[in-house]
C-alpha cells in the first residue's frame, strides 16, 4: 500500500458575515480525479443549539454541473453547540475518502433553523489529486 499524497487545503469562502438560512460556499471544481479526505469549519460566533435554533453544515459532491446533492459528510443539529473560533470536523481526516471525478463540483451548504448567530464562517476542504491505494 502506497503513502497518501499530501492534500491541497482549499478554503471555501462564505458571503457576507453572519450566514442566513441557505448560504452556500463558493466551493471548487476538481481539476483532476481525486479524493476529498477531510473538511473543517469554524464560526466567528459561538452558540448553544436547541430544538428550535440550530444549524447544520452539509458537504456535497455537486457532480459535473454543480447541482448534485450527494452528501459527502455533515455536522450539526439540535444538540450540536459551537464555540467561537474553534475548528470542527465535517469530514474527519482518516475517514473513508470521497472520490471526485475531474470536473465535479464540491460545495458546502449552511442550513439554519430558527435563529443562530454564527458570525463569519470559515471552511476548508482537503483534496488529494489522483486516486490513492
User: In the chain, where are the structural domains located?
Assistant: 8-129
**CA–CA separation, 19 and 13 (whole Å):** 11
Match 458537504 to its residue by C-alpha cell.
59
Contacts of 93 (CB under 8 A, 6+ apart): 37, 38, 126
Q: How far apart are CA 30 and CA 27, in angstroms?
A: 10
Residue indicated by cell numbers 503513502: 3
Q: Which CATH number fits domain 8-129: 2.40.50.1020, 2.60.120.1110, 2.40.70.10, 3.30.360.10?
A: 2.60.120.1110
First vs last C-alpha separation in the chain: 6
3-state secondary structure of 61: strand
CA dihedral 8, 102, 36, 118 (to 10 degrees): 80
Query: For residue 20, what pLDDT is reported?
Result: 66
Query: pLDDT tens digits for the chain (133 residues)?
Result: 456 688 999 998 776 556 666 766 778 999 999 999 999 998 888 889 999 999 899 999 999 988 888 999 999 999 999 999 999 999 887 788 999 999 999 998 888 888 888 888 889 999 999 875 5
Amino acid at each position: 500500500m502506497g503513502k497518501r499524497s499530501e492534500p491541497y487545503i482549499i478554503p471555501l469562502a462564505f458571503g457576507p458575515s453572519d450566514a442566513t438560512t441557505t448560504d452556500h460556499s463558493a466551493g471548487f471544481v476538481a481539476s483532476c480525479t481525486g479524493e476529498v479526505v477531510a473538511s473543517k469549519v469554524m464560526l466567528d460566533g459561538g452558540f448553544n443549539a436547541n430544538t428550535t435554533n440550530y444549524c447544520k453544515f452539509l458537504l456535497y459532491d455537486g457532480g459535473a454541473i454543480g447541482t448534485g446533492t450527494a452528501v459527502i459528510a455533515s455536522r450539526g443539529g439540535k444538540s450540536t453547540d459551537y464555540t467561537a473560533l474553534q475548528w470542527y470536523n465535517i469530514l474527519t481526516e482518516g475517514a473513508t475518502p470521497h472520490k471526485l471525478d475531474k470536473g465535479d463540483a464540491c460545495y458546502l451548504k449552511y442550513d439554519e433553523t430558527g435563529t443562530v448567530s454564527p458570525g463569519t464562517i470559515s471552511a476548508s476542504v482537503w483534496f488529494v489529486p489522483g486516486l490513492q491505494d
